Amino acid sequence: MSDNTLSYSPEEVSKILKISKGTVYDLIKRGELPSYRIGKKLRVTPADLEAYTRPSSAAPKHQPEAPAISMEKLILDNHGLIICGQDIVLDVLSRHIEKRNPSIRSLRSYVGSLDGLLSLYRGTANLAAAHLWDAETDEFNTPYVRRLLPGHRCVIVNLVFRNQGFYVAPGNPKNMRSWESLLEPGIVMANREKGSGTRIMLDEWLRSMNADAHSIQGYRHEEMSHIAVASAVARGIADVGIGTEKAAQQVSGVDFIPLKKERYDLVFYKEDMDKPHFQALLATLRSPEFQHEVSGLGGYDLSSCGEIVGEV
């Protein structure tokens, strides 16, 4: 066991359970074995591994179990950052924070924008990335922060701007040009999961147009990432999917049709603003080193990176 006895690597889990490493990754992928990321490394807490291996009736009923200390609590109690969100930029951010400040530990939680804000509200995370579009105001994030974090003062800091649009087959054979194209007969789409910013953007547009979402063939076909949606189009499973321009650059066999420039922000509590780990976060966002690496990835606009764009 490594990482100061706080967690296991997949390799260590495979030895403990006497199964292949590939099976461990399958268990993690299916959600049967909870996991977390520290930097690029997958980790499994002792409590989660014990819960997976222990039959539900194993504990004597007359002996209540002591509550397990979660990885989230360990990070939060030790002035670390739990960063919710799915974009690769957040992995770069986590790495740069730890490089500049080795005493700060960060943990990545790969959840969508809505679940990230709910994790912030529930106290299981202290930093959430969001790109939630509100059709009524044509505004990103602020309306959702106000609704989902009642009673809390929050700071919204820009991370990047990204282009959202259609993934289509090369040459755009179905002539997908606008949101209305999704309503054309015979179009098959690959959708994102509920709670993701991309899914909410689509659903907000459909609601504003009073369109029946379930009339779209493939609307119930959910994928868990932009890459997976683009891959579905590249493999011919769907005619179209919605996601970021960056993912289109990473998947061969798809073209990208831009629809909307979106603001991708970081949200945290205002009371945390002056704490050392959040000051380290802001300093990292504004650093030339971080911005230079993200710029080199392509597909991102960093013109407002590190700027406070709202307080709620």
**Of 22 and 246, the one with more pLDDT:** 246
Give residue for tokens 């909307």. Answer: 260
**Nearest of 309, 265, 299 to residue 85 by alpha carbon:** 265
**What is the per-residue pLDDT across 180-215, written as a single tens digit (0 to 9) for each?**
999 999 999 999 999 999 999 999 999 999 999 999
**Structure tokens of 209?**
């147009």
**Nearest of 254, 244, 248, 77 to residue 161 by alpha carbon:** 244
Give pLDDT, residue 59: 41
156 within 8 A of 311, measured Cβ to Cβ: yes
**What is the per-residue pLDDT across 77-130, written as a single tens digit (0 to 9) for each?**
889 999 999 999 999 999 999 999 999 999 999 999 999 999 999 999 999 999
DSSP per residue, 101-112: -TT--EEEE---
Give pLDDT, residue 97: 97
DSSP per residue, 113-180: HHHHHHHHHHTS-SEEEE--EETTTTEESHHHHHHHSTT--EEEEEEEEEEEEEEE-TT-TT---SGG
Give pLDDT, residue 237: 96
Task: For residue 268, list its beta bridge partners.
Answer: 155
Average pLDDT over residues 208-236: 95
**What is the per-residue pLDDT across 167-182, written as a single tens digit (0 to 9) for each?**
999 999 999 999 999 9
Average pLDDT over residues 31-35: 82
Give the confidence band of 33 by pLDDT, cuts at 50, 70, 90.
confident
**Nearest of 271, 246, 273 to residue 258 by alpha carbon:** 246
> Cα(163)–Cα(123) distance, rounded to whole angstroms?
31
> Cα(271)–Cα(233) distance, rounded to whole angstroms?
44
Q: What is the pTM of this model?
A: 0.78
Give the confidence band of 284 by pLDDT, cuts at 50, 70, 90.
very high
**What is the per-residue pLDDT across 35-74, written as a single tens digit (0 to 9) for each?**
887 767 888 888 787 777 664 444 444 445 545 557 788 8
Give the confidence band of 253 by pLDDT, cuts at 50, 70, 90.
very high
pLDDT above 50 (res 229): yes
Give pLDDT, residue 266: 98
Residue ranges and CATH numbers for the domains of the chain are: 10-52 (no CATH), 71-161+263-311 (3.40.190.10), 164-261 (3.40.190.10)
**What is the per-residue pLDDT across 150-167, written as a single tens digit (0 to 9) for each?**
999 999 999 999 999 999
